[in-house]
């Protein structure tokens, strides 16, 4: 969707706001930034300033988002404003690996605390959840013992949010039968991997991971690891893959790539692991510490960018070739749970 400045200025204020929201829904954040900045920040209404701040956040330009959002007078700062501003500070703290005691983290928490209070007053449960997601984003850098001392009500509300998320994650049972015939007739590996995706636990310890994978064949576990690998690397590169909980599957992903004859990708992932000394911890906190130490090395991201490109540009035999050749290894008849 494209729009000229003349077209935008011909709209009423409500039409301008609706247009910006539609652009955001379709991922055209750069168009939003271009149009609104060319109109001039000083000429924007309060809602449009908020949308510009949102667009900057979605375009990974949090410092500009803060400038725009903080230009809004305090009397107009609602729960949404506090969430957007908290997100910007949280993203900066995350990118810079800042500790709990940093000024940026402290400001993020102050904003989240106020955003949650206002959301509760207005019964805006979705905005309250968004505020808690900012805490989720910075979870590895949080000192919750100190946070509970400074923000007892916020931490209590956050604990309730986490408990509710866990309850929802338990989900509802679904019975599924995946036959050899279905496997051979589909190129959609998601449909084959779905039972493993919802069952194999990547969020706990490595023992939890192995235990949750016992109902499946080793090849099914490898397929799940490869699916996670592709999803994470294609979204945010090898750094994201290793930084997030998905890093727990790195060894299975590597073994799976070898077994499935995806040797170019296996060699590429192996070179990433070798870069970190030949092995990477399964524990996320330990991986995070290692990545934080390595991020001080200037060549790290140049190295990883090259490895990311290999995945982006890979044009070889994908995992469905092995699955089609060995369908008996991927059949399933059982029950698993999905979120409600």
Same structural domain, 333 and 216: yes
In terms of average pLDDT, the best of 110-114, 237-241, 309-313 is 110-114
Q: Annotate 63-129 with DSSP letters as a single string.
A: HHHHHHHTTS-GGG--HHHHHHHHHHHHHHHHHTT--TTSHHHHHHHHHHHHHHHHHHHTT-HHHHH
Q: Are 209 and 202 in contact (CB under 8 A)?
A: yes
What's the CATH code of the domain at 115?
Answer: 1.25.40
Which residues lie closer than 8 Å to 264 by C-beta, 6 or more apart? Answer: 310, 314, 316
Same structural domain, 149 and 274: no
Tell which of 168, 202, 231 closes a domain.
Answer: 168
Tell which of 143, 168, 193 closes a domain.
Answer: 168
| pLDDT tier, 1 (very low <50, low <70, confident <90, very high otherwise) | low
Query: Which pLDDT score, from 0 to 100, does residue 168 have?
Result: 63
- Number of structural domains in the chain: 2
What's the CATH code of the domain at 298?
Answer: 1.20.1420
Same structural domain, 153 and 190: no
Same structural domain, 194 and 113: no
Higher-pLDDT residue of 69 and 4 is: 69
Summarize pLDDT for 293-340 with one digit per residue, the tens: 787 777 888 899 999 999 998 877 778 899 999 999 999 999 998 876
Same structural domain, 142 and 178: no
Same structural domain, 36 and 105: yes
- Work out the percent of the chain whose per-residue pLDDT is above 90: 67
Same structural domain, 200 and 312: yes
Query: Which pLDDT score, from 0 to 100, does residue 132 have?
Result: 94
Q: What is the reported pTM? A: 0.56
Same structural domain, 248 and 109: no
Give mean pLDDT, residues 39-52: 94
Which residues lie closer than 8 Å to 42 by C-beta, 6 or more apart? Answer: none
Same structural domain, 288 and 196: yes
Tell which of 168, 188, 208 closes a domain.
Answer: 168
Same structural domain, 145 and 186: no
Q: How far is CA 216 from the centre of its chain?
A: 27
Query: Is pLDDT of 85 > 70?
Result: yes
> What residues make up the domain containing 116?
5-168
Same structural domain, 224 and 264: yes
Same structural domain, 220 and 329: yes
């Amino acid at each position: 969707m494209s729009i000229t400045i003349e077209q935008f200025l011909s709209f009423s204020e409500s039409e301008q706001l609706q247009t910006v929201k539609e652009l955001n829904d379709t991922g055209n954040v750069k168009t939003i930034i271009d149009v609104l900045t060319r109109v001039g920040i000083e000429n924007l209404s309060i809602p449009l300033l908020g949308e510009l701040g949102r667009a900057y956040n979605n375009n990974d330009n949090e410092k500009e988002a803060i400038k725009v959002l903080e230009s809004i007078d305090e009397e107009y700062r609602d729960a949404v404003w506090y969430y957007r501003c908290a997100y910007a500070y949280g993203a900066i703290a995350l990118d810079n690996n800042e500790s709990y005691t940093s000024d940026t983290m402290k400001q993020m928490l102050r904003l989240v605390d106020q955003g949650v209070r206002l959301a509760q007053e207005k019964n805006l449960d979705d905005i309250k959840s968004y505020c808690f997601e900012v805490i989720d984003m910075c979870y590895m850098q949080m000192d919750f013992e100190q946070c509970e001392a400074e923000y007892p009500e916020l931490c209590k509300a956050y604990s309730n949010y986490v408990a509710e998320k866990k309850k929802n994650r338990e989900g509802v049972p679904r019975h599924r039968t995946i036959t050899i015939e279905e496997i051979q007739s589909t190129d959609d590996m998601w449909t084959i991997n779905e039972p493993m995706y919802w069952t194999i636990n990547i969020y706990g310890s490595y023992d939890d991971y192995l235990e949750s994978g016992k109902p499946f064949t080793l090849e099914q576990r490898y397929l799940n690891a490869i699916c996670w690998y592709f999803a994470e690397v294609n979204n945010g590169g090898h750094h994201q893959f290793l930084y997030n909980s998905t890093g727990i599957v790195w060894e299975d992903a590597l073994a799976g790539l070898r077994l499935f004859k995806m040797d170019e990708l296996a060699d590429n992932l192996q070179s990433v692991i070798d870069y970190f000394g030949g092995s990477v911890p399964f524990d996320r906190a330990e991986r995070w510490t290692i990545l934080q130490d390595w991020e001080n090395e200037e060549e790290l991201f140049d190295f990883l960018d090259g490895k990311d490109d290999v995945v982006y540009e890979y044009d070889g035999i994908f995992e469905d070739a092995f699955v089609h050749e060995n369908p008996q290894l991927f059949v399933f008849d059982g029950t698993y749970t999905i979120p409600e």
